[in-house]
Structure 1
């Protein structure tokens, strides 16, 4: 059996976003761990520094937020719970109770209402409370709310998993496309061609 290897860009860059990930940050969040051929994984939340960079690049935290490992661990935990909900949705299975509880907990961590503020330059204005010690809570709440919107909204029926093993990413299906990237589509087509050739 031929082993097909896939390399990661030398600069450590992420694969291109899966279809739908730009529309739903929670989908991008769920895909922040990537299974690669050969039993390798990329985890873009794997360290506190990487998690801070991931949040900053998506406008969910300031660049200098100083995310600690405990915060990165909370992000990774919520990611796994959201992945469990996505998987249950695709399997037509009941939503896992622990995953529902984790998402609901994250939803209630940040105030939902924008508070009224006064500034001499701006006058009265509304803004969400966002003290430094609540940066992670706001990020978790935003990702959980987006996941809830995806799972209950009109795009939920388009949700699918990448059809190119071992890829573990999710995407929103467009037409017949069931791959998260051209790379995965090429790998799936090559595997099918190889299977046909060896079956002859």
Structure 2
């Protein structure tokens, strides 16, 4: 059994996360009752663990803060696009640009390099940078695929405040987890009792 991440609230994956890595990335920041927010990518080690668990980086990649910040930044751009799609609103140009930039950043071949003493050679960029760029490209491409596929019509925000997760709606279900569904039903029941009394 997998060890939970530091600060992991123990929520199961939201509907669609297993098929769409971008949905899992969007849900890697979680708002909980009481104003608490958990960020599963808050440190380089946590970002490395998150990527490794999804086969996007080796467990010992040695992620640095700059790389973790790039991952968190892409997450916010994806969340922006998911919010726009779920609410049928126009997308922010900067978010679309960020997704396209991430998808096109990864070279398809080793690049030409030139050393003044030894001459031309081909090499890939710094290994950690290459790992992160590849992960970002994979996540961005998955987000683009999700947003443009029929599944994009099922994309919705969890209907239980203050939850900030997204899911693919299946039937009438609008909650990312049983916990959020129970919380929403309890809030409705409390409101009915209060208003009837």
* TM tier, smaller: 0.7 to 0.9
1:180 lines up with 2:176 in the alignment: yes
Question: Which blocks of at least 5 consecutive residues in structure 2 are unaligned?
Answer: 111-124
Secondary structure of 1:100's counterpart equals helix
Secondary structure of 1:171's counterpart equals strand
TM-score (norm 2): 0.86
1:22 lines up with 2:18 in the alignment: yes
Corresponding residue for 2:163? 167
Secondary structure of 2:100's counterpart equals helix
The correspondence of residues 1-200 of structure 1 with structure 2, limited to 5 A, is 12=8, 14-112=10-108, 131-200=127-196
Whether the 8 Å CA contact 1:130–1:138 is kept in 2: the answer is no
Whether the 8 Å CA contact 2:6–2:40 is kept in 1: the answer is no
Whether the 8 Å CA contact 2:23–2:167 is kept in 1: the answer is yes
Superposed displacement of residue 111, structure 1? 3.2
Q: How many residues align?
A: 180
TM-score (norm 1): 0.84
Superposed displacement of residue 12, structure 1? 3.6
Counterparts in 2 of 1:40 and 1:135: CA distance versus 1, 3 Å: same
Superposed displacement of residue 14, structure 1? 4.2
Question: Which blocks of at least 5 consecutive residues in structure 1 are unaligned?
Answer: 1-7, 115-128
Secondary structure of 1:42's counterpart equals strand
For residues 116-137 of structure 1, the C-alpha deviation after alignment (integer angstroms, 9 at most, x for no partner) is xxxxxxxxxxxxx994440000
